[in-house]
A and B are shown apart, each in its own frame.
Chain A
């Protein structure tokens, strides 16, 4: 440039090329670095969100193929675990028509080499069947005959592999004998059964000369080391008289000790067999006056899915109600009853077709051409569609990956289901859910279920609660100590001591939290365990002594006070407070023996033990050794240095001209600190607290190690909590990649991310406001 200029600048005004280049380079370097950091944070956010999003997607159900079976009278559709050899039952002759399906990966299912073939189980005699029911779990079909008998046909599926390890599914049918349900009975209209080792309960609606009868029959068999004997009829119960209206369906309960009968008029009768006697336990109307369209079990035979005549859809399950006054008085046992635990959106009419998944609480309902897959626990609709045909029978594949619907023209429609996370939804994460086996709707987190029939519970609320609980106790402990220490160090302590205190605190901040957690769990918790009265005594005595000594000191005449130079008071204070601490520690057991006396209700013995006394005195508050107090101390220990350092900086940075002005006006050091330093440093103190808060919210190792990690919702200081971060740390190893559990852990991470983001934003906004308010000249 200089060469083009007619009057070149004198050399001394030129900027060296090197300086310019370095300047340009640094400008870009800083830009790239800054943008890079923002981008990578954003990328992490995006990544987590991508992991989480599938949780909120509904099911993708696609019709993959339509196969003509030639069977017109569909009554039952059954299928093997792999979805490769479905069958339909021809009720007229009790024959099974199998359809060989070839499923190749990514290809549409087609009819396989074996084609469509019909098999007749070897029935023990001639019979005409009038009703049948398929138990998907045991893969058995129960048939009722026109003369009041029943039989069971087992469909035994076995996979066989050839040399190229290709799979062929073989099915073997084995029919049992015919068993009578009673004497003088006609056609069986509806039937259900429950099988255990030695007991079997069959309930049926059977026609007779006197009209429709409700029959329950039990069978027993002997079991010896040499094998099992044949089923022998045991008890016979006729429930017809106890039922008003027209019975329409029978179900046997999951434990095989109860029978449910629904009537067309809309009432459900619930009978229980106890000690050989059958008794009516409960009578309820799921839809009030309205009639019942269908009644079926959900997986696990604990919850009942009802639809009404008008298509309303509710779920009932057993629970133990709160005992009434009378029951309490008489000491009568409260019995489990059915109650509505969930209600779902309406269907267009009563369900004609029902099937439930063998994996989870999903179920299929169809009413006319409308088919719907719903999830029982959360009450959400996974998929719903009005089909181009009216399904007559159908089944959800046991892996919840396929669905087969049969229309009345003899075609079987194959659907593929892609719904990896049916149990996840906003309501599952954030609202109270009435789970099976619970007595009321609750926020529960229990990611790993004991077995397939108990559902995992994924409420985020206990984890969020735990996060705040841990943080709260840590902050209660840390904030006063850290802020007061910062105030003392910056305003009162002599600078020469301050030079030691600050770096020490900064070293404390770098202590790995795993060490703190370890200390908390294995050292502090056992020590505190028997000494809580001492801890409380010390927490009470320390501030009291400090305040009292301070007051007395202030009242002393100057004559005595000159012996202690300002900024050196701690030389007297620390030994004094140590003495008080030791005294409190030693006095604790004595206080415990006086105050915390627990009277054993059975023996009447008096035990002076805080750990027993606490749960007894504060009802519902139980006691854990690894509790929130330990967390408060250890996590407090982790955040104190952070809060201290930042707050101390803020207070030391209060311009000296302000403190000088205050002191020159005759204010004492404390007045200067409280009236000038604290307000001016408040933005800094506030961000110190928020950064401490953020650290405590995200803190993991201390919480993992020093609490029991139980996801409870209880502010009680003497039990633990499970935080979002600890949850991720504890459960990540056991969550299979891309499973619901895995994604839910990511969801927890996302919540944590959002929470810290929110806290930081609020903190920043508040800090800026405070700063504008207390900004100083210059």
Chain B
């Protein structure tokens, strides 16, 4: 874990103030799968162009909450919620809001890399194509920019037309990140993006997150405490569907208020 010490200084580096400290607001939000409540009355807000990390033991509802931000839960049968979530002041549950346009604003990187069985190029331009943008020069530009942003350009620039399934796992995950940012969303949701990757690939993706937060607001779920400490500006700790503590990352890791948080981040339970 040499990377831990190597990237430690970055923690203090990005302290530029956020342009909108309560960009994403979760207001008294509760969520049910059928009759089982998974999220219990949470209220907090996340700043724009910062990285917010969600930590907490398995099954505490991190992924569920994350999927609420782009309403991916809609696909599941028998869900309902109470309270509200707003992005830039606008409710994402507003019936007049089209889910498609919400999902264009809120990109998502899944825990398990999931490239389409298409070429690298087609994977990246997918979000543009479905939006009806098919101009070759524009697509080429987007491919290069996204791949550069995802630190994958040099590795794949010669084989853009090859199947994406021929890449390594870490490359595929970076490809998925490139695909998620191709259409320039405002928010990027990442659900344990490094859980299937080796330390080198993990390091690359963490570096990438540092790059990306200049443009995007990032919410990342992770089980890796060091990773949360390294990449995030703010950290939320959940336990059994409840928000236990939410604060500056430094504070959560150095000086948490709640004993449960302290126990969890120091590895005494989890």
Q: Give chain A's interface residues, CB within 8 Å of chain B.
A: 494-496, 558-559, 562, 655, 657-658, 660-668, 671, 675-676, 679-680, 773-778
Contact = CB atoms under 8 A, between A and B. Distances in A.
B152 interface: no
Given A667-B130, A675-B130, A774-B117, A657 B100 contact: no
A489 to B, nearest CB: 15
B112 to A, nearest CB: 6
Interface stretch (B5-13, B42-50, B91-99, B230-238): B91-99
Nearest to A778: B112
Contact of B95 (A494, A562, A667, A776): A562
A679 B113 CA distance: 19
Closest 7 CB pairs of A and B: A666-B104, A657-B114, A667-B130, A665-B127, A664-B108, A666-B103, A562-B95
Given A657-B110, A668-B130, A663 B172 contact: no
Contacts of B77: 494-496
Interface stretch (B14-22, B82-90, B134-142, B176-184): B176-184
B75 A663 contact: yes
A495 B103 CA distance: 23
B110 A661 contact: yes
A775 B107 CA distance: 25
Interface in B164-220: 165, 172, 176, 179-180, 183
A562 B172 CA distance: 37
Given A660-B75, A777-B165, 14 more contacts: A494-B77, A496-B77, A558-B98, A559-B96, A661-B115, A662-B130, A663-B75, A665-B107, A665-B126, A665-B130, A667-B100, A667-B126, A773-B117, A777-B113
Nearest to A671: B130
A598 B95 CA distance: 58
A495 to B, nearest CB: 5
Contacts of A495: 77
Contacts of B4: none
B172 A662 contact: no
A336 B116 CA distance: 71
A666 B98 CA distance: 10
A680 B117 contact: yes
A775 B163 CA distance: 11
A777 B127 contact: no
Contacts of B110: 657, 660-661, 664
A658 B103 contact: no
Contact of B127 (A655, A666, A778): A666
Nearest to B185: A666
B131 interface: yes
Contacts of B108: 664
Contacts of B180: 664-665
A679 B179 CA distance: 19
Contacts of A494: 77
Contacts of B95: 558, 562
A351 B87 CA distance: 103
B255 interface: no
B116 A662 contact: yes
B227 interface: no
Nearest to A655: B114
Contacts of B114: 655, 657-658, 660-661, 777
Contacts of A775: 117, 165
Interface string B63-90: 0000000101001010000000000000
A664 B107 contact: yes
A660 B72 contact: yes
11 contacts: A494-B77, A562-B96, A657-B112, A658-B116, A660-B114, A661-B116, A661-B179, A666-B131, A668-B130, A775-B165, A777-B172
B101 interface: yes
A776 B104 contact: no
Contacts of A773: 117
